[in-house]
Amino acid sequence: MGILRNIKTTHFFWDLSNEFLHLLGIAGLICAVDQMVKSAIDTEPEDNFPRDMPHTKGYIKIMRAHNPGFSRGRLGEYPELVKNSSIAAVGFLAGGLQYLTSFYPKQYKLKKLGMAIVIGGALSNVLDRIVNGKVTDYLNIRVSGLKSLIVNIGDIAIYVGGIIYIISAFIKKED
């Protein structure tokens, strides 16, 4: 029985299926786009901010803010805790995605997609925390209760991926 358990564990760690690699590609694309936008925002002169995002009728402003904490600056006074727990969360999600793609290749496609989207957004924010010690946020959505919230593409991906994952939990038979 011990040998069989080791074979399954080895299978889990070494089986990088096409599905897993495609989902990592989606995560990587989200991360890369967010990192490019953050880089562009961080290199602009301070007097370029805030400004309206074109074609949004003033509902979205482009700003520059740096957040050492989680969403809305939570635990910002503990940047190492935020960084390390963020790294752990991305690792846990990537391991979970690998597990699902390895052992359930034809099931849970929506769950896996949601996880990949979350991983992409979270990875971009983790890279910011590792390199800069804080996350660059740049989109201020000016709709009722969100007016004080400044986010980035990574944050939006985390929210959207989480919503997709939750929706998939309500689907009885997901193929």
Cβ-Cβ contacts under 8 Å for 31 (sequence gap 6 or more): 120, 121, 123, 124, 127, 154
In a domain, 153, yes or no: yes
Confidence of residue 167 (pLDDT cuts 50, 70, 90): very high
Output the pTM of the full model. Answer: 0.88
Do 137 and 153 meet the contact criterion of CB atoms below 8 Å apart? no
Sheet containing strand 60-67, edge to edge, reads: 51-52, 60-67, 135-141, 150-151
Q: What is the domain extent for residue 104?
A: 2-169
In a domain, 174, yes or no: no
Is the pLDDT at 46 greater than 80? The verdict is: yes
In a domain, 158, yes or no: yes
Is the pLDDT at 42 greater than 80? The verdict is: yes
Reported as a single tens digit per residue, the pLDDT across 127-162 is 999 999 999 999 999 888 767 789 999 999 999 999
Give the active site residues: 137, 155
In a domain, 83, yes or no: yes
In a domain, 50, yes or no: yes
Number of structural domains (the chain) is 1
In a domain, 175, yes or no: no
Confidence of residue 175 (pLDDT cuts 50, 70, 90): low
